[in-house]
Amino acid sequence: MKQPDQFANAYGFTRNQVHLHNWRNSPWNVWAFRHVPEFIPTAEIRSYSVEPEELVVGPHRLIEKSVKIAGESEPLIDVLRRTWTDALVVMKSGRFIAEFHASQFDLQTRHIMFSSSKSITGLLVGLLVGDGLIELDAPVARYVPELGRSAFGNASIQHVLDMRTSVVFTEEYGDSLGDFARYRRAGLLDPQMEGTPQETVIEFLASLQKGSNEHGGPFYYCSPNSDVLGLVVERASGERLADFAATRLWRPLGLRQSGSITVDTEGTPRAGGGISMTPRDLARIGEAMRCGGKALGRQVISPEWVADTISGGDMQAWREGNFADWLPGGSYRNQWYQSGNAHQAFFTLGIHGQWLYVDPQSEVVIVKFSSQPNPVDALMKMTNLHLFNEISNFNFT
C-alpha cells in the first residue's frame, strides 16, 4: 500500500479519510470506487485466464478528436474530464483501439459498476434458462420461497427481468431514512443506523409489499428486482452467484482479471449493484453480446437470449414508465437498455456514470467508468449518450 504522503499526493486526501459514510461522495469516491473490497465484504468472481492482458492502447486517437455535444464542438478529452471519467475503453470489430485512464488507474484496476451489475445478472439468468433450470413465466416464489408473501412472490421471472413488477418502493438516492436507505444498509453499503436492527438482503426483500397495480404493467425502475434475480440464480444453479459467474461467464469469455461482488452478513450478493471489474473485461462482455453470444470461437450465451435482450423490449411499457423522459424511443429487456437510436445501440448503466455501450452497426463497444459527484445527473446521461454516438461514428483508420 502507498505510504500516507504518496497516497495524499495521488488523491488529494488520506486513506483514513475514506469511510463507509462518505465513500460515494466526491472526492473520496475517486479512490473508493476502485477499492470497494477494502471496506465492504465481497466475494471473488475468479478469473481462470492465464493469458496476459494485452498492451495498453494509447489514448491519442481519442485526444485528437472533437465531438459535438448539444450542437457545440468540444475536444473529446475535455468531455472526459468534465464527466469525471476514470477510464474509457473503445473496441472496434473486436480489437481495443483506444483507451483513456485517469491518474492511478491501470489495466488491473477494478471499478464498481453499480447498476451495470444488473445486466450481468440478467445474463446469468439467461444461461440458466438455456440450461432448463429457470422458467421465465414461473413465479419468483418457486425459486425463493422466502419471498412468497412479498411483492415479488407471484411476479414472474420475466416481470422481474424487465422491471415490470408492482412494488411499493421508491428509489431515492438522497433519502437517509426511507426504504432505499434500509436497502443500502441491508447490503452493507451504508453504516448501520443506531437503534435499528441489522437486516439481511433477503429480509429486506421479503418486507416489500405489492403495489395496487398488477405485475406486467409499465416499466418501473426498482433495484431490488435485480437482487431477487441474484437469489433466483443461486437457488436454480445451486452455486454462489460469484462462482456461477466465474465458471459460466468469466472463464468462457476469457476475462483476464478476477471481479468481485459485494455481499451481506449472510453472503447474499448485491446482484443489483455490487460488481467490480476492469473496463476491458466489461468490454469483452459487450463484444460477446455484439457477436450474438459468441466468444473465443464458441457459443457462450444463447443467440436467442441475446436477440431477445437487445431487441425484445416492450416500447409501450417503456413509454408509460418512469424513465421515458430521458430516453425517448427506448425500451428495457432482461436488465439491459435498448437505445432505440438509428444504430439500435444497447447499453448498461450504473449510478455515478458507469456504462457499457454497444453499437452493433458500427461494430463498436465502449466502456466508461466514472466518479461523478451526483449518483444521478440527467445532463451527464445525455452528454455521455452523445459522446458514445460520436465515438461510434469516428473513422479510426
Based on the residue annotation, tell me whether 115 is a catalytic residue of this protein: yes
Q: What is the spatial distance between Cα 161 and Cα 135, in angstroms, rounded to a whole number?
A: 12
Q: What element of type H or E holds 146?
A: none
Instruction: Give residue 94's identity as a one-letter amino acid code.
Output: G
Cβ atoms of residues 223 and 272 within 8 Å: yes
Cβ–Cβ under 8 Å, residues 30 and 15: no
Cell numbers linked to 357: 455501450
The residue annotated as part of the active site, out of 115, 156, 371, 392, is 115
Show Cβ contacts of residue 395 under 8 Å, excluding neighbours closer than 6 positions. none
- Residue-wise DSSP of 59-108: SHHHHT-EEEETTEEEEHHHHHHHTTEEEEEEEETTEEEEEEE-TT--TT
Separation of CA 221 from chain center: 14
Angle value at C-alpha 349, between 241 and 59, nearest 5 degrees: 105
The closest alpha carbon to 322, from 395, 254, 376, 247, belongs to: 376
- How many CA atoms lie less than 13 Å away from 41 in the CB half-sphere? 13
Q: What angle do CA 48, 53, 55 make, to 5 degrees?
A: 175
Which of 110, 41, 116, 115 shows the shortest CA–CA distance to 268?
A: 41
For residue 192, which amino acid is it? Q
Cell of 222: 426498482
* Cα Rg, the chain, nearest whole Å: 20
Helix (H, G, I), strand (E, B) or coil at 124: helix
Catalytic positions: 115
